[in-house]
Structure 1
Amino acid sequence: MTKTRSIIRGVGSYLPEKILTNDELAKRVDTSDEWIQQRVGIKQRHIAAEGQYTSDLAVEAAKRAMAAAGVTPDDIDLIIVATTTPDYTFPSAATLVQMKLGMHHGMAFDLQAVCSGFVYGMVTADSYIKNDLSKRALVIGAETFSRLLDWTDRTTCVLFGDGAGAVVLEKAELADDAPEQGILASALRSDGHHWDKLYVDGGPSTTGTTGHVHMQGKEVFRHAVGKITDVVYDTLDKAGYTVDDLDWFVPHQANRRIIEGAGTKLGLPPEKVVMTVGEHANTSAASVPLALSVAVADGRIKSGDLVMLEAMGGGFTWGATLIRW
Structure 2
Amino acid sequence: MKMLRRIAVFVVLPLAVAVVAGYIWYRTSETGKRWRYEDKLASYCAGLIPVAESAVFTGYSTDPGLPHDGRRGYGDETYYSCGVADLDISIGRVPVDAGTTPADEDSFLARLRPTSQDFVSTPLGGGWYGYTDLNSTGLVLACSDKPFSVVVAVDGDSSHADRRDVRQVAELAVGIGRKAADRWSCSFEDAGPVPPVAAQKQEASPYAATGTCAGLGIPEGDRYVHWAKEAPASANTPVEECVLLRETWAGHEQLYALTAYFGPYAQARRALGGYPNLLDRPSGLTSHRAWATASCPGAPQAVVEISATAYAQRPNAVRFLVDTLSAFAERAVKRHGCTDLRLPSVG
Q: TM-score, with normalisation over the residues of structure 2?
A: 0.27
Q: Which entry has the higher C-alpha Rg, 1 or 2?
A: 2
* Higher normalized helix content (fraction of residues): 1
Instruction: Give the structure, 1 or 2, with the largest relative contact order (CA under 8 Å, sep 6 or more).
Output: 1
